[in-house]
Amino acid sequence: MKNSRILFWSPLLGHIGTLNAVLHSAESLNRYGKAEIYIINTFGEFDSYKKNYDKFNYIDIFRINKFLPKTGFFSKLSIYLFSFLALPKFSFYIFKIKPDVIMINLVGLIPLLIKSIFPKGCFFINSIQGFPKFNRLRIFLWKKFYSKSDLLITMSELSKDLIISKIGIDHKKIFKINNPIIVSKIKMLSLEPIEKYLDYIFKNFFCFISVGRLTEQKNQIELIKAFQYLYSESKDFFLVIIGDGELKAYYEKYIRLNNIKNILLLGHKTNPYKYIGRSKVYVSTSLWEDPGHTLIESAYLNIPIVSSNCEAGPKEILKDFYNAFLYKSGNIPALCKKLEFVSKNYENLNQVRFNAKKLSKGFTLQSYYRNIKKYI
């Protein structure tokens, strides 16, 4: 794997977690494997990252990122449509660069569709970013195309087992390898200054924070309803939610109609770490995660975690009262009890923080390279 040419295919709109996964994977392979990195910049989604990751070669296809929706049905439709339209230019660069490895992070159907025409010796890795949701069509497509991958990587054992059972992929070419989520700059970013009014809030209230797209998956309405009860019990609590998405208007209306105070929907923030680092508790109410990047980042920043026990990530990596505080997804009273417990016992959570910090060490650039080089 040393000194290889590795090309990343990951067409996306939004999905900051996946963007970071691509860039951190590339950085790991470049730093420890001396690989030459090429990144397909399908929509211009990597434009704002080029300055900080200037060792990589970016192949620009379309420059339309700012014109397309970042979430919802039309976002997904745009991703697939323009991914197909990118095929001619993508194929041209395959033959020009002659990569040793093609790393697929999203929309794996496209490169696998034309794998047979690519130069011999090109190794295809499909990194499954997220817990796969299968229906009849997806099962058919995965059996037809994803089975052509030379290696599949999942973020959890549950995802791996699900793919093996649903698709029938050979267990000898599918492995769980943690995304390289933790980089040293997270700590530096957490120390950057924030807006004065927010600095006042974080210093004078017991602040809960949640970061993620405002979608059905992230299920922030559960947290808002739990906070509605908490706030009625104590005006010292504050809730900050970072992220944009199709449910933003619905959440704003619910908060307004129920006259819930001390909640801020901050929208998207390029540096969420400076807010996470100033919070008392990080909360995840997701219906599924795989594994949940901000959970790992919060653990790294020593912020106590309250999370649903959803599949696949939290259920595998978090243990109640050991490195986090878990509640059964959908049980709002149970969530309230965990939030209250953490607030009342905040000064006695050092061991839980320490155990969570240890967990984050399995998601570094070095650990990623050490694991992936075993299979290439």
Nearest one of 198, 331, 338, 191 to 265, comparing CA atoms: 198
CATH of 185-362, one of 3.10.28.10, 3.40.50.2000, 3.50.50.60, 3.30.470.20: 3.40.50.2000
pTM: 0.90
Q: What is the pLDDT of residues 238-274, one digit of tens each?
A: 999 999 989 999 999 999 999 999 999 999 998 999 9
pLDDT of 271-303, one tens digit each? 999 999 999 999 999 999 988 999 999 999 999
Q: What is the pLDDT of residue 15?
A: 65
9/297 Cα distance (integer angstroms): 25
Q: Helix-strand-coil percent breakdown of the chain, rounded to 5? A: 45, 20, 35
Residue pLDDT, tens place only, 76-92: 899 999 999 999 999 99
Q: Would you say residue 375 has pLDDT above 90?
A: no
Percent residues over pLDDT 90 in the chain: 78
Question: Which residue shows structure tokens 């019990």?
Answer: 233
Residue 120 has pLDDT above 90, yes or no: no
Q: Domain 5-181+363-372, what architecture?
A: 3-Layer(aba) Sandwich (3.40)
Question: Is residue 239 within a helix (H) or strand (E), and if so which, with residue range?
Answer: strand 237-242
pLDDT in tens, 304-360: 999 999 988 899 999 999 999 999 999 999 999 999 999 999 999 999 999 999 999
For every residue of 296-326, DSSP letters joined together read: HHHHHTT--EEEE--EEHHHHH--BTTTBEE
Residue ranges of domains in the chain: 5-181+363-372, 185-362
Cβ(265)–Cβ(252) below 8 Å? yes
Return the structure tokens found at 247: 């449910």
In this prediction, residue 1 has a pLDDT band, given cuts at 50, 70 and 90, of low
Q: What is the pLDDT of residue 13?
A: 85
Residues 107, 129, 2, 60, Cα dihedral to 10°: 40
Out of 34-43, 125-134, 216-225, least confident range: 125-134
The tally of CA atoms less than 13 A away on the side-chain side of residue 199 is: 7
